[in-house]
Amino acid sequence: MNIEFFKRLSEADGIASNEEEVRHVLLEELKAYSDKIICDGLGSIIFSKIKDESAPNVMICAHMDEVGFMVRSIDKLGMIHLITIGGVKPLAQFVQKVRITTKEGKKIPAVINATYNNGKAENIYADIGAYTEEDVYNLGINVGDMVTYTTSFEEFTLPDRLVGKAFDDRIGCFVMGEVLKELRKENLNCNIHFAATSSEEVGIRGAKTSTQLINPDIVFVIDVACAKNEFVRDYTNQKQIDKGVMLMHRDRTLVPSRKMIDYVMEIADKNNIPLQHDMFESGGTDGGEAHLVNEGKPCVVTCVPVRYGHCAFSIVSNKDLENIIRLYTQLILNFDEEQYKHIRNFI
């Protein structure tokens, strides 16, 4: 694994519809391995490895955008009022270091804070130490500017532990990139399209448009998930780091194709790749929109377990990353016309 590539993805800033930095990292890393690179109208970027026009089309998607904030207004005291973009955890909205990205790309450090009311963060604002609104405007800060955490990516002292921001879902983008590189010299039996999608955190938008653009035959989704309680380590927690890839059997937006579930389980078993079997009681992923495009797409979602999702910091296991890269490499290497017909046959 190229951990430096993962680091650059994690430290890039990109809330919904502002993923330019992430696209740049992906393009720089993956253009040499792709037969074709296109974007949809929302900014999702798709890297393709093509066999021929008659081969089945497989799409793997993961979203580029992270949760964060946007400048909503600037008051006379020089305080910068914010609105959340995506589901930022309430506790992650208090006294955290952030950076504001101006229209010109300038990075302005700040501290965010909020008032606390019945377990909710309200009146979120960023403080750059200003006394007047002119202090703020003179730095080029304006309404609509992106605000993200300043978290630095690092390896923990404990082996195989990585910490950083935006793991949801730069992990998925990283996995797709590493799989594309693994497949670079392989003669595949399908066309494979890796879609780094826009605007998942605000309504699963880029998954719909990129799927419409590619019109694949089947769709795999890579995302992340975290347990509600890090102290629970029994069978009720199927989101534990170091315990394997999460295979999602249900979420609020998708009950996946049983044949797709079976295919993932078969490949994982043959290659000794550990799986955790989980369901989301609420929430969804790119699969929620992707599987509904055109005539409908057989779809399945896999997740990498992390700790502290939608916060300034998340923790992930190297072993889980290695396992999901192995899983997707084998899923693609073993996919052929026969498997395609089996998955798509309903009568």
Check the annotation: does 277 bind a ligand.
no
Q: How many CB atoms lie within 10 A of CB 27?
A: 15
Q: Which of 11, 178, 200, 289 is catalytic?
A: 200
How far apart are alpha carbons 329 and 145 in whole angstroms?
A: 38
Check the annotation: does 35 bind a ligand.
no
- Phi and psi at residue 30, to the nearest 5°: -115, -5
Check the annotation: does 168 bind a ligand.
yes
Q: How far is CA 96 from CA 170, 228, 312, in A?
A: 21, 21, 8
How far apart are alpha carbons 153 and 14 in whole angstroms?
A: 15
200 catalytic, yes or no?
Answer: yes
Exposure of 212 in the CB half-sphere (CA atoms within 13 A)? 10
Check the annotation: does 310 bind a ligand.
yes
Check the annotation: does 262 bind a ligand.
no
Close Cβ partners of 328 (under 8 Å, ≥ 6 residues apart): 60, 175, 176, 179, 220, 222
Strand partners, 301: 221, 248
Q: How many CB atoms lie within 10 A of CB 145?
A: 21
* Cβ contact 9:15 at 8 Å: no
Q: How far is CA 98 from CA 147, 151, 206, in A?
A: 7, 8, 26
Which residues line the annotated binding site for Zn(2+)? 63, 168, 201, 223, 310
Q: Which residues are annotated as a binding site?
A: 63, 168, 201, 223, 310
Residues labelled as active-site residues: 200
